[in-house]
Amino acid sequence: MNYLSPILRNNRTFLLAYDHGLEHGPEDFLLEKSAEPEFILELAEKGNFSGVIFQKGIAEKYYQPWQNIVPLIVKLNGKTKWQAGEPYSPLICSPEYAKDLGAVAVGYTIYPGSKFEHLMFKEFGQVVEKAHNLGMAVIAWLYPRGKKIDNENNPQVVCYAARIGLELGADMIKIKWPLERKYLEKAVNLARPVKVVLAGGERISEEEFFKRTEEVIASGGCGLAVGRNIWQRKNALEIAKKLAKIIYQR
């Protein structure tokens, strides 16, 4: 069974990430509209995204009217930027509840290298088993962090993260930019057959972001799960449409 099919188009994916209200706080919402979940849902529909990523609360309050329009991915764990020390992102929603909210897939962030990685590995293992029993895919955000990680964009660190996703049973993994295309290719190969998507990261120039997206596809990556590089721009819809073309092309 291909759990990922509800969020794939031409075997690729283009996901609009919007869990920042919890992870970073409203300071990410540089444009007034970007604080409004309805604006994000409309953008997801018109911008040809293959899914939108919400935390449980936003999904509960805003998603229902969009159920047959934009596929939902519910992020099952989360934390604030105020958490100090080694990171741990606790489970705050079950796969069952995510399904009731209309989710076709769930997401979970793992911080390999944190002294709490064992807790996240354990929770993630249970999430995968439950989600698969419910027919849902699991996307792992793989963000190595902790004392031993000096730079999470370090190619070795990103490649290791990609492989961890395969080892732990993810259906799709989301990784950070490993600085060069050749390392992205390596990460994709190390995770195979698990699909790899790139996180957007902090906003960069449009040109740079288009180039990076082309490199994701050329490296065998499956697409993007991106937030700020879309909804922090005044021309978000225009950018989204151009990115969708790059991603879904054969």
Binding mask 175-204 for ligand FBP (x = CB under 6 A): ------------------------xxx---
- Catalytic residue selected from 56, 75, 130, 174: 174
- Residue 242 half-sphere exposure toward CB, CA atoms < 13 A: 14
Its sign, for the CA torsion 215, 175, 163, 4, is negative
- C-beta of 65 vs 138, nearer to ligand FBP: 138
Q: Is 174 a catalytic residue?
A: yes
Structure tokens at 188: 């994709």
Binding mask 37-76 for ligand FBP (x = CB under 6 A): ----------------------------------------
User: Residue 14 interacts with ligand FBP (CB under 6 A)?
Assistant: no
Chosen residue from 56, 130, 163, 228 binding ligand FBP by CB under 6 A:
228
Stretch that binds ligand FBP, among 18-26, 42-50, 162-170, 239-247 (CB under 6 A): 18-26
Q: How far apart are CA 205 and CA 182, in angstroms?
A: 21
Contacts of 162 (CB under 8 A, 6+ apart): 142, 173, 175, 187, 188, 190, 191, 196
- C-beta of 73 vs 136, nearer to ligand FBP: 73
Stretch that binds ligand FBP, among 56-64, 157-165, 185-193, 223-231 (CB under 6 A): 223-231
Reported residue count of the chain is: 250
CA distances for 208 relative to 103, 110, 142, angstroms: 32, 27, 23
User: Residue 123 interacts with ligand FBP (CB under 6 A)?
Assistant: no
Q: How far apart are CA 28 and CA 31, in angstroms?
A: 9
Instruction: Summarize as ranges the residues that interact with ligand FBP (CB under 6 A).
Output: 17, 19-20, 23, 141, 143, 199-201, 226-229
